[in-house]
């Protein structure tokens, strides 16, 4: 607006000019960003924090040894160079990945009492956590398809699940994971965090960050709901259809020993699927009004750290 025209407009419309000025001030206030967040954590009691530090240190050590040990064992033993164990080794690496995105910072907070995390570190933690969680979601679907091919199409299994096919499935899982993480990170951190910086969680996750924002987060909530819903629905459908045909094939087997062997290969995968998707649905696919942060934190411990 030209200076002369601005003066004339201010003279004839003083109320409108004042309202525009106030609106601009409010807008400037809403774009004031925090430089760090304070993570509430799981407890403020020092004795409880020591107990939690010891507990989570042992859990993280077991996760480290178990997942990396399994990956190394599968890598070194040529008899385990099959599609099933290939996906299992990748699942172990992904488990280690998203556990490492969260647990070290939580343990450091228990040990030092410093619960602050910089804005950039919060963005990074959130990005990699979402990326690895999404990769695991699609890996579980790929593993279900692998079991379907092994049990229902045994004669075509070696030609269907070749090394190239497994590599393509794995690359697809990682591409979807990092694309999804980019969408969610941009969706959450485009919001303004004015002066409040206390995150009611033990790591940077979407629900507490949305609750903390001073912007209108309705669109962000809808994006999370639909994107998480689409990813979960797609993976669950692949798993459900694969296991539907798989169970039909198993029930048609005449040998009880064959049925038992087929069921045993699927039991651990079904357990992992139930825990993973049950927690994801509980965390991200319920209305924000019904969110209980205490319940969310307890649920997060199971899939983020255990």
Q: 126-171, pLDDT tens digit by residue?
A: 999 999 999 999 999 999 999 999 888 888 999 999 999 999 999 9
| Domains by residue range for the chain, with CATH | 35-304 (1.20.1070.10)
Whether the per-residue pLDDT at 224 is higher than 60: the answer is yes
Quote the tokens at residue 48.
């409880």
CA distances from 194 to 32, 37, 243, 251 (A): 5, 11, 48, 59
- Region 45-68: what's the mean pLDDT? 89
- Residue bearing the bigger pLDDT, 8 or 274: 274
Q: Give 6's strand partners.
A: none
User: Predicted confidence band at 293 (pLDDT cuts at 50, 70, 90)?
Assistant: low
pLDDT tens string 14-40: 444 444 444 443 444 445 478 899 998
Q: How many CB atoms lie within 10 A of CB 274?
A: 10
- Residue bearing the bigger pLDDT, 293 or 259: 259
Degrees (nearest 5) of the Cα angle 295, 202, 116? 150
Under 8 Å CB-to-CB from 150, ≥6 apart: which residues? 83, 84, 157, 161, 265
- Residue bearing the bigger pLDDT, 235 or 283: 235
State the first-to-last Cα distance of the chain, in angstroms, to the nearest integer.
Answer: 59
Q: Are strands 116-118 and 36-39 parallel, antiparallel or unpaired?
A: antiparallel
The residue among 61, 49, 63 whose CA lies nearest residue 106 is: 49
User: Predicted confidence band at 83 (pLDDT cuts at 50, 70, 90)?
Assistant: very high
CA distances from 58 to 95, 193, 264 (A): 16, 35, 29
pLDDT tens string 201-219: 899 999 889 988 888 889 9
Q: What pLDDT score was predicted for residue 275? A: 78
User: Predicted confidence band at 301 (pLDDT cuts at 50, 70, 90)?
Assistant: confident
Q: What pLDDT score was predicted for residue 174? A: 97
User: Predicted confidence band at 48 (pLDDT cuts at 50, 70, 90)?
Assistant: confident
Spatial contact of 206 and 125, defined as CB atoms under 8 Å apart: no
Q: What pLDDT score was predicted for residue 287? A: 62
Q: What pLDDT score was predicted for residue 294? A: 67
Please count the helices (runs of H) and the strands (runs of E) in the chain: 11, 3
């Amino acid at each position: 607006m030209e200076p002369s025209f601005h003066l004339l407009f201010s003279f004839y419309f003083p109320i409108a000019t004042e309202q525009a000025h106030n609106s601009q001030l409010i807008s400037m206030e809403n774009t004031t960003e925090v430089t760090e967040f304070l993570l509430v954590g799981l407890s403020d009691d020092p004795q409880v924090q020591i107990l939690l530090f010891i507990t989570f240190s042992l859990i993280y050590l077991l996760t480290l040894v178990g997942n990396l040990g399994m990956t190394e064992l599968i890598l070194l033993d040529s008899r385990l160079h099959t599609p099933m164990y290939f996906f299992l080794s990748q699942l172990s690496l992904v488990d280690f990945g998203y556990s490492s995105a969260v647990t070290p910072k939580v343990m450091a907070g228990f040990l030092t009492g410093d619960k602050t995390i910089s804005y950039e570190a919060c963005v990074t933690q959130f990005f990699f956590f979402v990326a690895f969680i999404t990769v695991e979601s699609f890996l579980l679907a790929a593993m279900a398809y692998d079991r379907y091919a092994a049990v229902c199409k045994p004669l075509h299994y070696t030609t269907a699940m070749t090394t190239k096919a497994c590599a393509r499935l794995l690359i697809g899982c990682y591409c979807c994971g990092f694309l999804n993480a980019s969408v969610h990170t941009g969706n959450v951190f485009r919001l303004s965090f004015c002066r409040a910086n206390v995150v009611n969680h033990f790591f940077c996750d979407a629900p507490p960050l949305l609750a903390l924002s001073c912007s209108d987060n309705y669109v962000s909530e809808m994006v999370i709901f639909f994107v998480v819903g689409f990813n979960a629905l797609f993976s669950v459908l692949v798993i459900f259809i694969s296991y539907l045909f798989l169970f039909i094939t198993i029930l048609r087997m005449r040998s009880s020993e064959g049925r038992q062997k087929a069921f045993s290969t699927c039991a651990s995968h079904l357990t992992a699927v139930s825990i993973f998707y049950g927690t994801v649905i509980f965390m991200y696919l319920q209305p924000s009004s019904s969110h209980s942060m205490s319940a969310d934190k307890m649920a997060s411990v199971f899939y983020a750290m255990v």
